[in-house]
Amino acid sequence: MRLTHPSPEDGPHMWRLAGETGMDVNSPYAYTLWCRDFAATSVVAKDADGRVAAYVTGYIRPDSPDTYFLWQVAVDSAYRGQRLARRMLDFIGDTFADQGVQYLEATVTPDNAASRALFASFARNWGTEDVWSPLFTEEHFPSDGDAHEPEDLVRIGPVGPTSDNPDD
């Protein structure tokens, strides 16, 4: 599996993967634009055939340049169990630790045990803590008959280089 930054050609594949994994799906245009404008802060995992098997999208928060916000993480079901999500998070951490980024943030619904375990594992192996707090309630989202679950914020940090990381 090769980890790299995405290109606009990866956008449609990321859009497909978002839908297949049950995530909140944005427009195909949004993923393609993301791969142009936020490629440096995102990562794709490609299999031996060059197929997008997983991705992480995120950005450096404009009002907090020491904080990386992870927007989405998706792993194709055929590639689960290979620690791709953790490897991509470590790729992001390694990319930004030397650039002054000290925190990783993400939002997670209360019932998403897999994501909660992923972020706890990342924090533990980077020698820091994961702090959870409510961020968005159901009232923050428009109601079209399908209520959106609340989103809790996880803030992980401070992070540093992974040279002492036992998982490396």
CA distance 87 to 85: 5
Instruction: Kindly state the tokens that stand for 100.
Output: 């002054």
CA distance 28 to 134: 30
State the pTM of this model. 0.89
- Helices 28-37 and 11-20 pack at an angle, to 10 degrees, of 130
**H/E element holding 132?**
strand 129-136
Q: Tens digits of per-residue pLDDT, 64-118?
A: 999 999 999 999 999 999 999 999 999 999 998 888 999 999 999 999 999 999 9
* AA letter at 20: E
* AA letter at 145: G
Q: Tens digits of per-residue pLDDT, 36-51?
A: 999 999 999 999 999 9
- Helices 84-97 and 113-125 pack at an angle, to 10 degrees, of 40
